[in-house]
Chains A and B, each alone.
Chain A
Amino acid sequence: MNDLSTSPMSRTGHAGKTQPMRLARGNGINGDTTIRFTFDGRVLEAHPGDTLASALLANGVRLVGRSFKYHRPRGILSAGPEEPNALVELRDGARREPNSRATVTEVFDGLAATSQNRWPGLKHDLLGANSLLAPVFSAGFYYKTFMWPASFWEKVYEPIIRRAAGLGRAADDADPDSYEKATAFCDVLVVGSGPAGLAAARAAAGTGARVILCEQDSLTGGRLRAEQTVLDGRPGWEWAQETEQYLRAQPEVRIMTRTCVFGRYDGGCYGALERVADHVAVPQAGQPRQRLWRIVAGQCILATGGIERPIVFPDNDRPGIMLAGAVRAYVNRFGVVPGHQAVIYANNDDGLRTAVDLHDAGASIAAIIDSRLPSSTAAQVTARRVGAPLFAGGAIVKTSGHTGLKAVQVRDSAGQTHRLACDLLAVSGGWNPDIALATHHRMHPVYDEVLNAFVVSSVPAGLHIAGFAAGSLTTDAALAQGDALGRTAAQAAGFDAAIGPAPALPRAGQEEGYAIAPLWHALDRGAAKQAGRAFIDFQNDVTAKDVSLAAREGFWAVEHLKRYTTLGMATDQGKTANVNALAMMAWERGRTIAQTGTTIVRPPVQPCAIGALAGTHRGRHFKPHRLPPTHDWAVETGCVLTSNGIWQRAQWYPRPGETSWQETVNREVRSVRSSVGFCDVTTLGKIDIQGIDAATLLERVYVNAWRKLPVGRARYGLMLREDGFAFDDGTTARLGENHYVMTTTTANAGAVMRHLEFCHQCLWPELDVQFISVTDAWAQIAVAGPRSRDVLREIIDDSFDLSNEAFGYMGAAHVRLRGGVAGRLFRLSFSGELAYEIAVPARYGDALARLLMRVGAPYGITPYGTEALGVMRIEKGHPAGPELNGQTTAHDLGMGRMLSGRKDFIGRVMAQRAALSDAARPTLVGLKPVNAGDALVAGAHLLPRGAPASAASDQGWISSSAWSPTVESWIGLGFLCHGAQRHGEIIAVHNPLAGTVTEARVVPPVFVDPEGSRLHA
């Protein structure tokens, strides 16, 4: 990236015809290497360091895309992220990315770019006819044109609009690239690496503070690369390069290029997007395409510079009309002269520098049009130097050239018009400080009448603004301000600003005038109304007339203006448009710009791919998986897995020859009911509770009594929420005098733990109790069925008496397995059979499952999954998630009598509200179809027999249903008004999804062994 030639005028020979607009020099270009890319299939050449925009301009390509609404031919306006026009599709196949800004896309060898929003081709675009329908597409056209008839919206209007408007095409396939996130911390974050940013980073680093310098561009230097600024007698960009090297050598400085800080969030948090591999064809294996940074900064210095405004005049959108500062960037940084014959149109001295730079690069200057009258001395000096006529007080009233600028019509201060042939028009309406990041906490900018731009009204805490973003107009001022604020910020972050001998600041010493005079429309109001379309927002095709219309129709508030006209929307967010539009609105309303006000912006300041926000959390890894200890064994057996929250559980275990899941589940249920089966129930939440107040805690969180539970026994418990509705249920066992282990449902394990923490930390800190989750510590397996005791005898050490007399239903004990592993045994049953839950340290869970298969083989043992578990719990009428759905009460669940009257507990008072135990409330019932084969579906509604299937006759719903191989019928659990009194009644079951009504008999919600004799066997 060095000068290739001492003569700026000589064109590179080797680029030949393919890069006719390429100059010999460009401070950011490596002209030694030539790379190839395609645009709309045409092979073109470029150099490393080019953006797609600079490479297209180097090849003389001016027409780059078609506009959003009118399909107007458009070219390249800017040289930065603010670009509204030059949006292209990059790459192809699954990597195709629409709406990419050519001005920030780095060219690489093999890049394929395609113009978008045109059909059939860029030069001959049939939808350009939209332009003729302009009256239809005026401001608010969505609301006016397509309102009626309503039914036409989805079928007719929307498809038409989508085809005609819209931007590029998204890829059809999943993005093959990966994205990742990372966090970085620093004392001082510097955003932007122009003169102010570099000086700030240098000064802050000198104090020993940790500094992060973020630059969205691939190179540091900011405008120093775009201008011919001289610092201490040398090119400014050389100083930038040296300063970057100096900073890189500092141990606590980190320079992040290609990294856009896109948002400012609470607590000194900033979001930033690093384009890791956007500048290469394919990321290195495993490495991300982009990386999303969360930067936590003690202090932040915004050195984001400014964004130039276009000028509003008729037909100001032709390819070849560019921002003056962008033209200088192409000439000086990229070594590209965007036109041979140029006209400069500006309302300030800064824009006039373009004439000099173009002239020095060999272009001829057809005219300088200075809207100011009288024009400045600088304008006169410039015009003389480049040998061009100066139109002081002039205006451009018209342009021509269908797919590229051919001429402009200038009206001089005397009212005479002149036609000037040209292929480049460089415009400058002045610069807006880029203060977007400062507004993310709702700071409303104020209008500065001298600068003719919005500036920060008050600098938010922890933020400092340096350089042009703060209104510093010269390089020297920016350097000095950056340097001072670098120290200030470091000091605010706790560092001594006096230490650290930073190298002396360089001096530009040049005259860098600005002298802006407001210019919001080239024409006066009357003429503007008669003239052709003068664009304000190029990306959304919003014209000066659209703003006038919005004003006439009452949408003059800036927020309404935006929404009514679509001003400032889409990828550029109106970076070049907004202030011109506000000025136009002020003009229309006869108010000042300050009175009109401005909208503020939200993050992100530049587009950020959703993929980057997701990072590595996509596809299978969208959420983590929790795996129970028997997972590997279960997968080996060929089980089908299901998600239970983030747990992955075995749903059923098919055997060879089984043809449907129903067949498998039926076998698993029959096996448990007739012999023995086992199921991994590790996923249930397990909470170890200890302390002298442990029982008191249980008494307060459960509805039922706990004090008298003996050591070695377990009990079913129900918890309510504070509002009196059922929260969770499970069993809690007493393992020692002051030691309990609570189980929760799988779904609520986290919520119950939080609840206990809240109760202990906030409600009753005086309770001397400690608890901790042991869910992962124990592999817990339910062994169920009439032969379960026989199986356990093969596993549990002989010294433990497993007999019903010694270890009855609801027993809980510490046990040793044969050989010595310490475990726990609970005689709990969810299936309704004689059953146990055996717990061993999790590392043994896998071996326990394998052992059960071996020792249970003589009994035909089968593992069973969550489906069979569900069938058996419905057969027994045990409530689960569908019944504990947050809307049911203990009364609804048939557990009203569990609510203890002798103690206080969470939810007690609110549960006493009359409505919560109203007899008319739907309460838990069992349901059996009159025809056993009529499927019951959860979610179906219950109606009186013969009643119309309407909401008025709705009396309840089915919460759970299953085919019961034990009953040989469909069975269901549900909630029915006055349910407990209606056992035996036949009711109608309406499934609105299938549109069916079937009949079912209301029965008690226990289908198998209602006496519970099997449990106690």
Chain B
Amino acid sequence: MPDILSPCSPISTEPCRVGGLTLALAPPDETVSIGGFRNSLPALHEAALQALGASLPQTPGTATRAQDLSILWAGPNQWLASAPSGSGLMEKLQAAFGAHAALTDQTDSRVTLTLSGPYAHVIAAKLVPIDLHPRCFGLSSVALTLAGHIPVIVVQRDLEPSYNFIVFRSLVRSLHHDILAAMQGGIPKSEQN
């Protein structure tokens, strides 16, 4: 029997362009939060390495990647793992260390907006109070912060640089508005030396 429900995107999938900048809804990943149980942390880290080939980053503000899997530090003994849709991430993690961590499906909880194009870092600086200079923030960085009034997780996607803003689904339209407003606000002259 076909599904009686079809999924609905929380915001238009059509990218918005302002000058060379683009704001787009990223394809929905599968996302699982990992909350390590305090009594089995060594086993958890070991199992992650063995089964995923990736370590659960222990330093705040850092992320690890292995093939399609990315693991973001999300709090003390908490991580957010993402992999492309259809990769069966929850099952994989369950099999790897289901006994050592609370695994919670966050696929529908959060939505990712991608900001890309020249000066994306300048636009991002209008939203988050994070030093995005290459000396301070890179591909293995993650920031849990506020974009204006909206809690976001920021990661740098590539060296272009472009950024992913991971936001609670219910807030994505407000964040989309705020990023778009920042894009329309232009590149400060002092950045265009």
Chain A residues at the B interface, C-beta cutoff of 8 Å: 178, 180-185, 210, 212, 248-249, 253-257, 259, 274, 276, 284-288, 291, 294, 296, 615-617, 621, 623-629, 632, 647, 682, 688, 690-692, 761, 765-766, 768, 770-778, 795, 817-821, 840-848, 851
CB pair A819 B8 closer than 8 Å: no
The contact of B186 among A287, A629, A817, A841, by CB within 8 Å, is A287
CB pair A772 B125 closer than 8 Å: no
Cα A765 to Cα B178 with chains together (Å): 38
The contact of A617 among B105, B148, B171, by CB within 8 Å, is B148
The contact of A690 among B3, B35, B38, B178, by CB within 8 Å, is B35
CB pair A185 B182 closer than 8 Å: no
For the complex formed, measure the closest distance between the CB of A1008 and the CB atoms of chain B, giving whole angstroms.
Answer: 32
Residues of B within 8 Å of A249, CB to CB, are 193
The contact of A626 among B5, B171, B182, by CB within 8 Å, is B171
Residues of B within 8 Å of A296, CB to CB, are 129, 131
CB pair A180 B4 closer than 8 Å: no
For the complex formed, measure the closest distance between the CB of A874 and the CB atoms of chain B, giving whole angstroms.
Answer: 27
What are 20 A-B contacts with C-beta separation under 8 Å? A180-B181, A182-B126, A210-B133, A212-B190, A286-B184, A287-B184, A287-B185, A288-B186, A688-B102, A688-B104, A691-B102, A771-B102, A772-B35, A775-B170, A776-B109, A777-B104, A777-B106, A795-B4, A841-B107, A851-B5
CB pair A628 B148 closer than 8 Å: no
Residues of B within 8 Å of A248, CB to CB, are 193
The contact of B190 among A254, A294, A688, A851, by CB within 8 Å, is A254
For the complex formed, measure the closest distance between the CB of B100 and the CB atoms of chain A, giving whole angstroms.
Answer: 11
Residues of B within 8 Å of A776, CB to CB, are 108-110, 168-170
The contact of B4 among A628, A841, A851, by CB within 8 Å, is A851
For the complex formed, measure the closest distance between the CB of B8 and the CB atoms of chain A, giving whole angstroms.
Answer: 4
What does the 1/0 interface line of B155-166 toward A look like (CB < 8 Å)? 000000000000
Cα A770 to Cα B173 with chains together (Å): 29
Q: Which of B136-193 contact A (CB under 8 A)?
A: 136, 148-150, 168-171, 173-175, 177-178, 181-182, 184-186, 188-191, 193
Residues of A within 8 Å of B18, CB to CB, are 286
Residues of A within 8 Å of B7, CB to CB, are 843-844, 847
| Contact of B67 with A by CB under 8 A | no
Residues of A within 8 Å of B81, CB to CB, are none
- Which B residue sits closest to A778, measured CB to CB? B108
For the complex formed, measure the closest distance between the CB of A52 and the CB atoms of chain B, giving whole angstroms.
Answer: 22
Residues of A within 8 Å of B35, CB to CB, are 690-691, 770-772
CB pair B186 A286 closer than 8 Å: yes
Residues of A within 8 Å of B109, CB to CB, are 773-777, 842
| Given A182-B122, A818-B4, A847-B7, 20 further pairs, Cβ under 8 A | A178-B185, A180-B182, A181-B126, A182-B125, A183-B125, A256-B190, A616-B178, A621-B177, A626-B168, A626-B174, A627-B10, A692-B39, A771-B35, A772-B106, A776-B170, A777-B108, A819-B3, A820-B3, A821-B3, A841-B107
| Contact of B13 with A by CB under 8 A | no
Residue with the greatest number of chain B CB neighbours at <10 A, chosen from A249, A259, A626: A626
Residues of A within 8 Å of B83, CB to CB, are none
Cα A275 to Cα B174 with chains together (Å): 26
Q: Which of B9-44 contact A (CB under 8 A)?
A: 9-10, 18, 28, 33, 35-39
Residue with the greatest number of chain A CB neighbours at <10 A, chosen from B38, B129, B131, B170: B170
CB pair B149 A625 closer than 8 Å: no
CB pair A294 B108 closer than 8 Å: no
Residues of A within 8 Å of B6, CB to CB, are 844, 847
Cα A628 to Cα B1 with chains together (Å): 28
CB pair B101 A770 closer than 8 Å: yes
| Contact of B2 with A by CB under 8 A | yes
Chain B residues at the A interface, C-beta cutoff of 8 Å: 1-10, 18, 28, 33, 35-39, 76-78, 101-102, 104-110, 122, 125-126, 128-131, 133, 136, 148-150, 168-171, 173-175, 177-178, 181-182, 184-186, 188-191, 193
- Which A residue sits closest to B170, measured CB to CB? A626
Residues of A within 8 Å of B136, CB to CB, are 185
Residues of A within 8 Å of B77, CB to CB, are 770
- Which A residue sits closest to B177, measured CB to CB? A621
Residues of A within 8 Å of B10, CB to CB, are 627, 629, 842-843
* CB within 8 Å for A843 and B108 given contacts A182-B188, A291-B188, A772-B33: yes
CB pair A768 B39 closer than 8 Å: yes
CB pair A818 B1 closer than 8 Å: yes
The contact of A844 among B8, B101, B102, B104, by CB within 8 Å, is B8
Residues of A within 8 Å of B188, CB to CB, are 182, 256, 274, 276, 291
CB pair B102 A624 closer than 8 Å: no
Residues of A within 8 Å of B36, CB to CB, are 770
Residues of A within 8 Å of B37, CB to CB, are 691-692, 768, 770
- Which A residue sits closest to B168, measured CB to CB? A776
- Which B residue sits closest to A291, measured CB to CB? B188
Residues of A within 8 Å of B3, CB to CB, are 817, 819-821
For the complex formed, measure the closest distance between the CB of A251 and the CB atoms of chain B, giving whole angstroms.
Answer: 9
Cα A626 to Cα B190 with chains together (Å): 35
Residue with the greatest number of chain A CB neighbours at <10 A, chosen from B104, B173, B184: B104
The contact of B193 among A254, A617, A690, A840, by CB within 8 Å, is A254
Cα A840 to Cα B125 with chains together (Å): 36
Residues of A within 8 Å of B4, CB to CB, are 795, 817-819, 821, 847, 851
For the complex formed, measure the closest distance between the CB of A695 and the CB atoms of chain B, giving whole angstroms.
Answer: 14
Residues of A within 8 Å of B33, CB to CB, are 772
Residues of B within 8 Å of A761, CB to CB, are 76
The contact of A624 among B39, B105, B150, by CB within 8 Å, is B150
CB pair B148 A616 closer than 8 Å: yes
10 A-B pairs with the lowest CB-CB distances in the bound complex, closest first: A770-B35, A286-B184, A624-B174, A690-B102, A819-B3, A770-B102, A777-B109, A843-B7, A626-B170, A842-B108
* CB within 8 Å for A841 and B108 given contacts A690-B102, A848-B5: yes
CB pair B5 A294 closer than 8 Å: no
CB pair B177 A847 closer than 8 Å: no
Cα A180 to Cα B122 with chains together (Å): 13
Residue with the greatest number of chain A CB neighbours at <10 A, chosen from B76, B109, B130, B171: B109
Cα A625 to Cα B177 with chains together (Å): 11
Cα A624 to Cα B147 with chains together (Å): 11
Residues of A within 8 Å of B2, CB to CB, are 819
Cα A624 to Cα B35 with chains together (Å): 29
Residues of A within 8 Å of B181, CB to CB, are 178, 180, 616, 621
* CB within 8 Å for A253 and B193 given contacts A770-B37, A772-B106, A821-B3: yes
Cα A294 to Cα B129 with chains together (Å): 8
Cα A842 to Cα B177 with chains together (Å): 21
CB pair A624 B175 closer than 8 Å: yes
CB pair B133 A284 closer than 8 Å: no
- Which A residue sits closest to B190, measured CB to CB? A256
Residues of B within 8 Å of A621, CB to CB, are 174, 177-178, 181
Cα A59 to Cα B4 with chains together (Å): 78
The contact of B149 among A180, A284, A623, by CB within 8 Å, is A623
For the complex formed, measure the closest distance between the CB of B184 and the CB atoms of chain A, giving whole angstroms.
Answer: 3
* CB within 8 Å for A185 and B5 given contacts A256-B190, A626-B171, A770-B35: no
CB pair B170 A772 closer than 8 Å: no
For the complex formed, measure the closest distance between the CB of B127 and the CB atoms of chain A, giving whole angstroms.
Answer: 9
Cα A259 to Cα B149 with chains together (Å): 25
Residues of B within 8 Å of A629, CB to CB, are 8, 10, 169-170
- Which A residue sits closest to B80, measured CB to CB? A772
- Which B residue sits closest to A252, measured CB to CB? B133
Residues of A within 8 Å of B191, CB to CB, are 254
Residues of B within 8 Å of A821, CB to CB, are 3-5
Residues of B within 8 Å of A691, CB to CB, are 35, 37, 102
CB pair A624 B104 closer than 8 Å: no
Cα A621 to Cα B191 with chains together (Å): 27
CB pair B170 A286 closer than 8 Å: no
For the complex formed, measure the closest distance between the CB of A179 and the CB atoms of chain B, giving whole angstroms.
Answer: 9
Cα A847 to Cα B8 with chains together (Å): 7
Cα A178 to Cα B126 with chains together (Å): 14
Cα A274 to Cα B37 with chains together (Å): 49
